[in-house]
Structure 1
Amino acid sequence: MFREIPTVNRLLQKKWNDKDQQIHLQKLKNAKSTFNIKKRRSSSRRISKSTSKKDKIQEDRFKQIERDNKILLQKMRRIMKNHSGVNLPFEKGSLNKGMRKKQLADITLANYQLLQRLQDKKSNYNVLKWEKDRIDNKKLAQRIGIFSSTMVDPAHSKSKQALPTLKNPRESTTRMTKKRMKKNYQTELQPLEFPSSFPKRAKTTTRKRKRTIATPEEDGDKAKDLDLAKVCSIPEEREVIFQASKNDGKKYEVEISQTEDKMFIAAANKVKHSEHYLIELEKEKGEEILKEFNNNFQVILDNLKVISRRLVLLNPNINDPKRANTTRNRTRKKNFRKLNKRGNASQPSLRPGTVNSPSGDLMGVMPETARPVSPTQNTNDLQA
């Protein structure tokens, strides 16, 4: 502290040190003692001071209780005077009632969705096919076998692997019983007769025999239950213009309907409802097609075909034999033959009117493909 430290100005440094010393001495003079060195007071005075504090706290507590009692008394007087009608009956309830209701609703919805999936799932096995195969196998076994039918049918034949029955030694077997048992054994395990020569096979012919497979008969009620709006996903708010049945190898239910801006041509198999087709058109385009058919719905029904799992509406001008020999068609065929001789002719289009498929992207009317045009002929004559 008092060592000599080199400074720039020794006089100023001495002056600063003296000032710091005075400040330090002044702080020591003003410091207060941490110990109470004064004479202690008597214990009686200290006890009286503590008791007075307790009495004050208890007095404040009594005042607070008295004030609360006054407030409660005022409320009771007000209720007795005004006769408050708020007197709700006590009802027992559970705090978990809302949560239990929500869980029950979720479980019910999940069960309903599971039931829908089970009902919509198709079976992997066909019982009708099993029954048909069993009948065919039984007939085939009867044709090629030399044993009786009871030996072929497992329901009537005895199992060769069955264990023999134990005989009771006390039971008496007579001579006739043994003979009858021996006879039954021979008839079941021996052939009925051994033919000297097997029958000759019938001559085979190249003509194919038409095979018919028994299908379940169509009930009238089943056809009535067919709802094309539900099967083909058509709006319920539609106007049905035409509805009829069509037999094109399979029986279909055909319906032509329209809404404010759309026209629908729907067809569904009466037996197999999953086989359904839909043609969706703009209303203006549908009216143009109706004009081409002269609003004859029977002609539209005749020109509807199912080709390669697609519902196709053929052009009436090409399918109608009366119109096939018109001047335009003759000119078209003549120009096509000319171009074919030159070697640059392409296949002429038949212009399918409307095409739709459940698995394809073709919706509504297909545009007419390009036709070959002769350089000497006007293009207006070849327009569709």
Structure 2
Amino acid sequence: QPTIPASNRYLKKKWDEKYYSEHRILIRDARPSVDTRPPPTYMHLHMKLKKIQLEEERMATIERDNRILLEKMTHTMRTTGCVNNRNDYESKSLNQEKRRRELLRVSKENETMIKRIMARKNDTDGENWKNSWSKNASYLDNIAKYNPDWYLSKVIINCFR
């Protein structure tokens, strides 16, 4: 159906087809007013470069360790494989200095204590002790049931039998 009335039907049809084809071309080339494109994808969000870097470092470490181990194994296979376990270092205690100072302090204390003991005058008299002991022994002899030399007499008798 023609949109605009015309006197010649064939010309009208030709013009309508021409307008229609131009219209189709304009529609085909028209840009939408609403952006329907997908959002831009950024590769750094999908690639995770830090993870890849850490994985590469890990693989490099593993490769280096494997290479070192292989070198050690080939060295062992080439040589006789002798054991070298001599330690040429002298073990040193971390507390050696502290223990030495503590030993010096204790020895000084002992020395001063010995000086004090040696300087101290004897409070007890040996003669006094002897008198006291002999007095106590005589008291014990007075209250004893048996004579004081009963044990010695039995020992002497048993020796002569």
Q: Normalising TM by the smaller chain, what interval?
A: 0.3 to 0.5
Richer in strand (by share): 1
Larger Rg: 2
Richer in helix (by share): 2
* TM-score after normalising by structure 1: 0.17
Q: Which has the higher contact order (CA 8 A, sep 6+)?
A: 1
